[in-house]
Amino acid sequence: MITLNYFGNAYRNAQVDLYSSSHASLDAIVEYEENLYTNLFALHEKIEEE
């Protein structure tokens, strides 16, 4: 079982890559982070359903 904590750690790792990418949409990152817990929880729920 994948935990919500795992998603948080994975997001932090991806965030480093996104900030260093020249193609990252900083506005989209900020928007996602405004509701980070909700977004990660929704992703967790989708994966757990499969």
Predicted local confidence at residue 14, as pLDDT: 87
- Amino acid letter for position 5: N
Residue 24 has pLDDT above 80, yes or no: no
Residues 31-46 have pLDDT tens digits of 988 999 999 899 889 9
Q: Is the pTM of this model over 0.75?
A: no
| Distance from C-alpha of 50 to C-alpha of 26, rounded to nearest angstrom | 31
Predicted local confidence at residue 15, as pLDDT: 85
Q: Where does 1-50 have alpha helices with state H?
A: 4-20, 26-34, 36-49
Residue 29 has pLDDT above 80, yes or no: yes
